């Protein structure tokens, strides 16, 4: 241990990385944000509004970005390798330079499941089938020729979630409430449209989520059909025909839609697993990074000096991610104080 | 001509063509009906259910799936005891809902 200010590599400058870096700087450390994208903000920067209060994503992101202003941030920066030294980590960056650090924080987040892998839903095959992310982009830009005054819109829950065949047994947790948010936004935009949500269960666990669901039912008249979509086909006019079982009545249903939105689930960022492997950090059974334990040490890995914040250990909401970022900063502080 | 077999009509529900006028009229008068989550508490507690198949859950679903005949058969078995109203977790006044529904014909017109 040197008497220099300890350096902490924060991998990923999404909301987890930004918040953790800010907290670490406030605690007197020198965080370095490493981000492969040209901008900070991660997935939240691509989103338009956030559940359950329809808060503009920018309202959450801007203060985080502002507070991280003075922190060393390497954009467009890939990591070539991470080496474990005696009690330090050496990170080799894409441009060949190295960063020696006393702790590593994974804030690597998630990847959206590639919806085209569920071929039966026709993403990438039929024009009118889009994903939750495509819709969010449309809310931002209002530019997508596929969305043109739809009269009937469907949402498919659990695309690549709770799906053993797709290799993801876990629930992505935020898609139910996101589907409800987006369904409401579609209704606000196109009040005459019939909106259908095809679900297996509705998992509305968070604060005010159930209220949001009741509003979707009562104030927006969104139809909830309990049944997993079995197949999607294209009608001659380019609309899509969706088939499912209405499991509550035990009968098959079919409906023709102008737009079908697939709620792509959350999987671990493959880069995170790659880096973790190099320094002996294990991967959990669900494909996410493995915490020292899942109850009281979710932000700690089983390797000294390696910490986690946010969706690298599993699907997380925005408030959960921010809370973990703060918690991880404290865990790093305790770790480095003990060594000093 | 007898071919020795016949085709059964499809039991599939086509949401493109289903007639929801009665349901739409009902939710105009009783908006709480929209908040049903299909939990089945009403059916489980229903006094008439064991011998008639009455179920408020199925009534609401049947209306949205164009199964008017079944809906009317179920409604005729209701004794208006109101137990279903006591157990609904969404607080829907199901007894009132049944009374309102009985006033609507299948086109959604108030006839009684």
Q: Is the entire prediction scored with pTM above 0.80? A: yes
User: Is B13 in contact with A249 (Cβ distance < 8 A)?
Assistant: yes
In tens digits, chain B (112 residues) has pLDDT values of: 888 988 888 889 999 999 999 999 999 999 999 999 999 999 999 999 999 999 999 999 999 999 999 999 999 999 999 999 999 999 999 999 999 999 999 899 999 8
**Tens of pLDDT along A306-320?**
999 999 999 999 999
Determine the residue among B15, B26, B88 to mutate to test chain A binding: the one whose Cβ has the most chain A Cβ atoms within 10 Å. B15
DSSP labels, A183-237:
HHHHHHH-TT-EEEEEES-----STTHHHHHHHHHHTT--EEEES-EEEEEE-TT
For A31-59, how does the pLDDT look when each residue is reduced to its tens digit (9 = 90+)?
Answer: 999 999 999 999 999 999 999 999 999 99
Q: Is B34 on the interface with A (CB under 8 A)?
A: yes
Average pLDDT, integer, range A99-121: 97
Tokens 């691509």 belong to: A46
Q: What's the ipTM?
A: 0.91
Interatomic CA distance for residues A307 and A328, integer angstroms: 7
pLDDT at A1 over 50: no
pLDDT in tens, A231-250: 999 999 999 999 999 999 99
Task: Pick from A154, A218, A224 the residue to mutate for testing the B interface (most B CBs within 10 Å).
Answer: A218
Residues of A in contact with B12 (CB under 8 A): 251-254
Other beta carbons within 10 Å of A126: 19
Judge: B13–A256 Cβ closer than 8 Å, yes or no: no
Q: E-assigned strands of B1-112?
A: 13-14
Q: How far A133 CA sits from the closest chain B CA (Å)?
A: 27
Please count the other Cβ atoms lying within 10 Å of the Cβ belonging to residue B103.
Answer: 13
Q: What tokens appear for A116 in the block?
A: 């085209």
pLDDT at residue A2, rounded to an integer: 46
A137–B contact, CB cutoff 8 A: no
A201 shares contact with chain B (CB less than 8 Å):
no
Instruction: Report chain A's C-alpha Rg in angstroms.
Output: 22
pLDDT above 90 as % of chain A: 97
- Whether A93 has a pLDDT exceeding 50, the answer reads yes
- The separation between CA B16 and the C-alpha centre of its own chain, rounded to angstroms, equals 19
User: What does pLDDT average to over chain A?
Assistant: 96
d(Cα B7, Cα A326) in Å, to the nearest integer?
Answer: 65
| H/E stretch holding A156 | strand A152-159
Q: Which of A218, A252, A256 sits opposite B34 (nearest CB)?
A: A218
> Does the beta carbon of B57 lie under 8 angstroms from any beta carbon of chain A?
yes
pLDDT at A140 over 90: yes
Give the containing element (helix H, strand E) for A103: strand A103-106
């Amino acid at each position: 241990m040197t008497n220099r200010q300890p350096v902490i590599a924060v991998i990923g400058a999404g909301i987890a990385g930004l918040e953790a870096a800010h907290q670490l700087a406030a605690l007197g450390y020198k965080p370095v944000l490493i981000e492969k994208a040209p901008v900070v903000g991660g997935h939240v920067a691509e989103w338009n509004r956030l559940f359950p209060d329809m808060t503009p994503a920018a309202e959450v992101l801007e203060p985080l970005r502002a507070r991280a202003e003075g922190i060393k941030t390497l954009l467009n920066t890939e990591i070539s390798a991470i080496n474990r030294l005696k009690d330090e980590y050496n990170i080799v960056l894409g441009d060949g330079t190295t960063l020696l650090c006393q702790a590593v924080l994974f804030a690597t987040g998630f990847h959206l499941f590639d919806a085209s892998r569920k071929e039966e839903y026709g993403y990438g095959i039929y024009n009118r089938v889009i994903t939750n992310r495509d819709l969010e982009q449309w809310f931002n830009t209002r530019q997508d020729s596929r969305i043109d005054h739809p009269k009937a819109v469907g949402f498919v829950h659990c695309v690549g979630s709770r799906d053993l065949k797709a290799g993801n047994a876990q629930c992505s947790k935020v898609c139910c409430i996101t589907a409800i948010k987006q369904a409401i936004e579609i209704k606000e935009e196109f009040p005459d449209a019939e909106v259908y949500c095809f679900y297996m269960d509705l998992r509305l666990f968070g604060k005010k989520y159930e209220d949001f669901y009741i509003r979707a039912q009562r104030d927006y008249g969104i139809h909830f059909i309990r049944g997993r979509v079995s197949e999607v086909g294209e009608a001659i006019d380019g609309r899509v025909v969706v088939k499912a079982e209405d499991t509550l009545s035990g009968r098959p249903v079919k409906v023709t839609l102008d737009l079908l939105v697939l709620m792509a689930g959350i999987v671990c960022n493959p880069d995170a697993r790659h880096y973790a492997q190099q320094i002996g950090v294990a991967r959990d059974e669900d494909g996410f990074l493995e915490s020292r334990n899942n109850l009281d040490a979710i932000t700690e890995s089983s390797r000294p000096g390696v910490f986690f914040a946010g969706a690298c250990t599993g699907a997380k909401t925005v408030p959960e991610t921010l809370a973990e970022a703060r918690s991880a900063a404290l865990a790093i502080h305790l770790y480095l104080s003990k060594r000093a | 001509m007898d071919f020795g077999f016949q085709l059964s009509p499809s039991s599939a529900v086509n949401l493109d063509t289903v007639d929801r006028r009665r349901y739409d009229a009902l939710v105009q008068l009783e908006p709480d009906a929209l908040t049903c989550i299909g939990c089945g508490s009403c059916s489980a507690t229903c006094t008439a259910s064991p011998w008639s198949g009455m179920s408020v859950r199925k009534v609401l679903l049947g209306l949205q799936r164009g199964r008017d005949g079944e809906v009317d058969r179920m409604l005729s078995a209701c004794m208006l005891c109101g137990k279903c109203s006591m157990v609904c977790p969404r607080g829907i006044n199901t007894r009132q809902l049944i009374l309102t529904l009985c006033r609507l014909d299948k086109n959604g017109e108030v006839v009684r």
